[in-house]
Amino acid sequence: MSDPAAPQRIGFLGNYLPRLCGIATFTHDLCEAVAGAAPGSDCFAGAINDSPEGYHYPPRVKFELQEKEFDSYRRAADFLNFHNTDVLCVQHEFGIYGGPAGSHLLALLKEVRMPVVTTLHTVLTEPDSGQRKVMEELAARSDRLIVMARKGAEILREVYRVPDEKVDIIAHGIPDWTFTASSDYKKQFGVAGRQVMLTFGLIGPGKGIENVIEALPGIVKDHPDVVYLVLGATHPHLVAREGERYRLSLERQAEALGVKRNIIFHKRFLSLDDLKEFIGATDIYLTPYLNEAQVTSGTLAYVFGAGKVVVSTPYWHAQELLADGRGVLVPFRDAKAISDGVCALLDAPAWMERIRREAYAIGREMIWPAVARRYLESFQHARADRDSIPRAAFAKWTLESRPQPLPPSRLDHVIRMSDATGIFQHAIFNVPNFREGYCTDDNARAFILCDLLDEIGDQPPSVGLKRLATTYLAFLSAAQDPVSGRFRNFMSYGREWLEAAGSEDSHGRALWAAGTGAGRARDVGHRKLAAMLFERGVVAVESFTSPRAWAFTLIGIHEYLRRFPLTESLAKVRAELTERLLDGFRACASEDWLWFEESLTYENARICQACILSGQWMPHPEAFDAGLASLRWLASLQTTQARNFRPIGSNGFYPRGGARADFDQQPVEAQAMVSACLEADRATREPLWRNEAKRAFEWFLGRNDLAVPLYDFATGGCSDGLHADRLNENHGAESTLAFHLALAEMKGAEQWITFGPTGVAVLPNP
């Protein structure tokens, strides 16, 4: 009789071969091992793609996720639910899932209806705020957690308060290779008669290989026939960032130390069969890692279990596996200790043989069939620990519980409106209007959009987002006078500036963009240039008189302080500008006019947003309360009886005591309202603000006075405004960027909202 707790359909989630990384190899090997240990089960995998084109996966892979595409995680959850999956085994490493600290994974875990068993390949003792929140949520949404060393369980208990009874310790799986002498394999590699040292795996600076090369002269002095084999490709992400710089530095180091004859670099990611041959030829395996905080090493497990002698730095997994004389531990970054340890071993063959045999004997508990049986026990415990939740099918898929998804980002029109100089201001219908040239306002908005899209991982495959961001930032740099710090605004199609200095508002928007780049950009060059532009330009604002320029600057200051929170000079500017806005509120506000001026004009909600941000993070309770009160009042004014969003019209605006203009309605008003309400939501967690942001966003999609969408789903453009009787059919930069910025912020907030009370903000606030 079969065990009712035994799972029949087992899903595995993680990177997967032929993707070249350790997690991919582990997920593949675990899936195959469990399938072999439970022949009646249906074992299948879901693979995480780090590129739009994906990989040519084997039939075992039944679904794929795009690492940075938030919605693909929900689609994956749907697949798992409809597939009647009995248990899901997740491979977790912060770097393989999209979102801040890999938080996109939580959207999937929130939706799945089966028990979840999560293997933790990294357990951090000092996580940042985002990593801690993700780990705590991951632990809460997993029925069981698997770590590969006792240290991992200890960290979970002490750092994350995970009870021991929820944690299983299961060794990293290894192939079941026979115990052989290294001399049996050396001849095929041309190293017969030489002592072979090996380091293998994806190559990168954290491996500490330079310390072994520094130790080589001391080793070669006593053992001239030693050869050090560095086996493995450079990590693909490292190659994308800086090419082969690290590997080349190692080669130059070996040449400078005179040990070129004693080192071989073999730049390949090997199949298991090929790897077996190289490990077979090894006498001493070296893991000279630089950091103690590594709780799992697959390469160490492979070589130890194959019965090889290991010299290693004392990272956590090595401390545990090599304890009691099962290997040689040397201090971090200590080339002499490596040299001494290797020489001591090579001078004592009998000692090496004893270590080999003991390691091989212990390794029999780590072979994949044994590990697979342990995983099956964990799966059964997960199913027994709770009654399986019946699959919800369509019952839980009402619009109330699962709102209509946001539109996909389509940047066709943004690209069409951009050239090598920047983004054009205006369009005639959906065609760029060269005659009107460019402006700093729109290039600032476009640069902010690129940073937001990059941050939330919403990048359409065909869009060169980094190239676009570089263009817009270059425009901002050219716009600034390096002496005065002032930004010019208008540039002709012939690349001639049309003024010595732009308006105060355009300067404020430029500072907002520069602050965003300084605080959020991942590209180091972008970040440094944006910070330089911001620091040059912020001084000029102290002489400004425009409340909106003050507000834009305050938002920019907030963005800048995300990365540089201890900048005292900016703290003073923020306090001064916040006080100016409050002076306006104190002078103008009354019971029926909760505002900062004697009229409501354009981008009104930005002033509320600036007060909420500054009030929360200075902190300044009066500013915070004024921001929320004025935003609540503004929201009531901009809501129709039909509960639609109706912004203050630009055809006359709304003077105090005068007639309010309902038209022409501008997209920037809806965008500003989305931003301010989402900021209020993050600060207060009141459902009201989420609903107000949604209402303002849906104005773009047709929930407006004319019941027509301003956003063109076919082109990615947005109409320039809503008149009393028609749309403005021109799709200029300001309106198009207003929509895409609002969409990016809504998607970022959706990710944040998904994670509930312990939710993760798009980036930690200062």
Average pLDDT, integer, range 666-688: 97
> Higher model confidence: residue 51 or residue 546?
546
pTM, to two decimals: 0.78
Q: Is the pLDDT of residue 681 over 70?
A: yes
Q: Is the pLDDT of residue 137 over 60?
A: yes
Q: Is the pLDDT of residue 393 over 60?
A: no
Structural element, H or E, at residue 47? strand 42-49
Lowest mean pLDDT among 31-45, 153-167, 191-205, 721-735: 191-205
Q: Is the pLDDT of residue 385 over 80?
A: no
Q: Which tokens go with 315?
A: 């990272």
Alpha-carbon Rg for the chain, nearest whole angstrom, is: 30
Place of tokens 């208008």: 490
Q: What percent of the chain is modeled with pLDDT above 90?
A: 81
| Predicted local distance difference test score (pLDDT) of residue 28 | 97
Q: What is the pLDDT of residues 196-224, one digit of tens each?
A: 999 988 888 888 999 999 999 999 999 99
Q: Is the pLDDT of residue 761 over 80?
A: no
Using 50, 70 and 90 to split pLDDT, how confident is the model at 561? very high
CA–CA gap between residue 723 and residue 269 (Å, rounded): 61
Lowest mean pLDDT among 297-301, 433-437, 478-482: 297-301
Find, among 661, 662, 595, 579, the residue nearest to 633 by Cα.
595
Average pLDDT, integer, range 577-590: 98
Q: Is the pLDDT of residue 166 over 80?
A: yes
| Predicted local distance difference test score (pLDDT) of residue 462 | 61
Q: Which tokens go with 310?
A: 């290991």
Q: What is the pLDDT of residues 738-751, one digit of tens each?
A: 999 999 999 998 87
For the chain, give the mean pLDDT.
Answer: 92
Average pLDDT, integer, range 485-490: 98
Angle, to 10 degrees, between the axis of helix 524-537 and the axis of helix 547-563? 140
Q: Is the pLDDT of residue 584 over 80?
A: yes
Name beta bridge partners: 227.
Answer: 196
Classify residue 722 as exposed, middle or buried by CB count within 10 Å of its CB (0-12, 13-18, 19+).
buried
Q: Is the pLDDT of residue 391 over 50?
A: no
Average pLDDT, integer, range 241-248: 87
Q: What would the 3-class secondary structure string for 661-697 be?
A: CCCCECHHHHHHHHHHHHHHHHHHCCHHHHHHHHHHH
| Predicted local distance difference test score (pLDDT) of residue 758 | 32
Q: Which tokens go with 130?
A: 């985002």
Place of tokens 């002033």: 607
| Predicted local distance difference test score (pLDDT) of residue 405 | 78
Lowest mean pLDDT among 3-12, 71-80, 164-173, 491-500: 3-12
Q: Is the pLDDT of residue 349 over 60?
A: yes
Lowest mean pLDDT among 104-108, 400-404, 406-410, 509-513: 400-404
Average pLDDT, integer, range 136-162: 96
Average pLDDT, integer, range 28-57: 95
CA–CA gap between residue 90 and residue 144 (Å, rounded): 10
Q: Is the pLDDT of residue 628 over 70?
A: yes
Using 50, 70 and 90 to split pLDDT, how confident is the model at 396? low
Structural element, H or E, at residue 599? strand 599-600
| Predicted local distance difference test score (pLDDT) of residue 235 | 76
Domains with residue ranges and CATH for the chain: 9-173+369-385 (3.40.50.2000), 183-363 (3.40.50.2000), 412-756 (1.50.10.10)
Q: What is the pLDDT of residues 262-291, one digit of tens each?
A: 999 988 777 778 888 999 999 999 999 998
Q: What is the side-by-side strand order in the sheet with 9-14?
A: 61-66, 42-49, 9-14, 87-92, 116-120, 144-147, 167-169
Q: What is the pLDDT of residues 635-668, one digit of tens each?
A: 999 999 999 999 999 999 999 999 999 999 999 9
| Predicted local distance difference test score (pLDDT) of residue 36 | 96
| Predicted local distance difference test score (pLDDT) of residue 398 | 56
| Predicted local distance difference test score (pLDDT) of residue 762 | 35
Contacts of 461 (CB under 8 A, 6+ apart): 52
Question: How far from the centroid of its chain's Cα atoms is residue 721's Cα?
Answer: 35
| Predicted local distance difference test score (pLDDT) of residue 455 | 87
Q: What percent of the chain is modeled with pLDDT above 70?
A: 94
Q: Is the pLDDT of residue 501 over 50?
A: yes
> Higher model confidence: residue 343 or residue 751?
343
| Predicted local distance difference test score (pLDDT) of residue 399 | 53
HSE-up of 663 (CA within 13 Å, CB side)?
12
Average pLDDT, integer, range 191-196: 94
| Predicted local distance difference test score (pLDDT) of residue 400 | 58
| Predicted local distance difference test score (pLDDT) of residue 755 | 45
* φ and ψ of 95, to 5 deg: -80, -5
Which stretch, 93-107, 173-187, 239-253, 471-485, has highest mean pLDDT?
Answer: 471-485
* φ and ψ of 704, to 5 deg: -150, -175
Q: What is the pLDDT of residues 723-732, one digit of tens each?
A: 999 999 999 9
Contact 661, 652 (CB under 8 A): yes
| Predicted local distance difference test score (pLDDT) of residue 3 | 61
